[in-house]
Amino acid sequence: MTTRVALVTGASGGIGTAIVDRLRRDGLKVVTLDITGDVDVTLDIVNDPFPADVFDHVDICISNAGIVDTIAPAHSMSAEKWHRDIDVNLTGAFRVIQACLPGMRERRYGRVIAVSSLAGKTGVAGKVAYAASKAGLQGAVKTIAIENVGYGITANCVQPGFVETPGLQALPVETQNRLLAAIPVRRFCRPAEVADLIAFLGAESSGYITGQEIAIDGGTGLQTVTIGRDHP
């Protein structure tokens, strides 16, 4: 059997590290990419040219790189902040996927998994550019799924809620507690749980799943208001 090659962007972050560890345990050859850190390929996904010798051989493209720290409401969002989120989370993600598609189409096999966010579905106060970038990514991935379904290529988005990454753990305790109160399962998602979902979507056995947005959010996207007795 041919060993599949997986590309993971944002590979040095909390979720990225978990994805890389999981795929390597599954026996895949994993190429790591990030703008910094101990990775195989160091580049800026927005501006740098992509090395064809890397992207031409990718069977599983996991677009995980993104920025989450831009905070500004819509009425005062600066053009600089807006473009920062759109450039990385949408344009950069698309560039990565686009670079992998020709090789996948030639081999008539591929798995594209984009790490989006629940914010792309529900919106979130103070993060208009982030929510817009993730919603745009979801639309792009659906289109990629349509265009490539006849080439043995699937394309899906995962929508994590609040994941227990170093960035989240650095938030003030009172902020973390407020977030936990909004999650029905009353805990944050573990990076390994996101990695497990991505490994499933990247497997050969998942070829019948394409064009989907799959939330992993502990029920955060559910409507929990009741007109009867309170839930326990």
pLDDT in tens, 96-110: 999 999 999 999 999
> For 26-44, what is the mean pLDDT?
96
What is the per-residue pLDDT for 232?
A: 56
Which is the catalytic residue, given 109, 130, 151, 208?
130
To the query of whether residue 130 is one of the catalytic residues in this protein, the response is yes
CA-derived radius of gyration, the chain: 18
> For 213-227, what is the mean pLDDT?
82
In the chain, domain spans: 5-215
pLDDT in tens, 97-147: 999 999 999 999 999 999 999 888 888 888 899 999 999 999 999 999 999
What is the per-residue pLDDT for 69?
A: 84
CATH architecture of the domain 5-215 equals 3-Layer(aba) Sandwich (3.40)
pLDDT in tens, 167-208: 778 888 888 888 888 888 898 889 999 999 999 999 999 999
Structural contact between residues 149 and 210, judged by C-beta atoms closer than 8 angstroms: yes
**Percent above pLDDT 90 for the chain:** 70
pTM over 0.75: yes
Mapping DSSP to helix (H, G, I), strand (E, B) and coil, where does residue 20 land? helix
